[in-house]
Amino acid sequence: MTLVATGTEHLARMGEQVVSADAGDVLACVGLGSCIGLALIDRRATVAGLAHIMLPAAPASGTPNGKHADHAVPALLEAVLELGAARHRIDAVLVGGASMFSFGTDGGQQVGARNAEAVHAELAKLRLHPRAEATGGTRGRTMRVRVADGRVVYKEAGGTEVELFSTPVGLRVAA
């Protein structure tokens, strides 16, 4: 199913985040391979944010930015709160983290798995817990979030669109 809205589709490119309180908007991440698309959604307030996270953590000598989970997750939370989301109503949804690349002679550390672990760790620090996720595997994905109702769909490369998250407002999905 395609998420159709009367507003605009806003694309979160690598290292970027998009947020909206416009019920007509759809937020999207295209080409999530080892990257993680993280959606933070408050359906009651009609607020959603989406970050396209590339790496687990900023290097000690580098400047933190939206490419890294340790910066992107708290920055996305702050952005949705500024638009009127209430922390206790936020649903987190993750997509991506595929095993696209392997480094090292013994198979190395999988970047996608490390990204997913880092996002989970950052969410835990903020006392947020994923309500749904589609991570791992070996195929890239595209995800879309409809701001009006918080519905999240994703599509694997070569696959069909799958609804990942959609519950009535006020109903919490057990973690």
Q: Is residue 2 part of a domain?
A: no
Domain that holds residue 91: 9-165
Please state the pTM of the whole predicted model. 0.88
Using alpha carbons, select from 57, 56, 39 the residue that is nearest to residue 48.
39
Say yes or no to pLDDT of 175 above 60. Answer: no
Q: Is residue 175 part of a domain?
A: no
pLDDT attached to residue 125: 98
Could you report the per-residue pLDDT of 120-160, keeping only the tens digit for each? 999 999 999 999 999 999 999 999 999 999 999 999 988 99
Q: Is residue 3 part of a domain?
A: no
For 146, residues 6+ apart whose C-beta sits below 8 A from its C-beta are 3, 5, 26, 152
Q: Could you give the CA distance from residue 166 to residue 30 in angstroms, rounded to a whole number?
A: 20
pLDDT attached to residue 3: 45
Catalytic residue among 27, 32, 35, 148: 35
Per the prediction, the chain carries an average pLDDT of 88
Could you report the per-residue pLDDT of 165-174, keeping only the tens digit for each? 986 655 444 3
Q: Is residue 1 part of a domain?
A: no
* SS3 state of residue 113: helix
> Could you tell me where the beta strands, DSSP code E, fall in 33-70?
36-42, 47-53
Percent of the chain residues past pLDDT 90, beyond the cut? 75
Average pLDDT of the segment spanning 15-44: 96
Domain of 76, CATH number, reads 3.30.1330.200
Say yes or no to pLDDT of 62 above 80. Answer: no
Q: Beta strand pairing status for 152-156 and 26-32?
A: unpaired
Q: Is residue 135 part of a domain?
A: yes
Instruction: Kindly report each contact of residues 106-114 with a partner whose C-beta sits within 8 Å and lies 24 or more positions away, as own/partner.
Output: 110/34, 111/34, 111/55, 112/33, 112/34, 112/35, 112/136, 114/56
The token pair at 166 is 């959609």
Could you report the per-residue pLDDT of 84-119, keeping only the tens digit for each? 999 999 999 999 999 875 555 444 468 999 999 999
Q: Is residue 79 part of a domain?
A: yes
Whether 35 is catalytic: yes
Give the count of domains, the chain.
Answer: 1
Q: Is residue 102 part of a domain?
A: yes
Q: Is residue 68 part of a domain?
A: yes
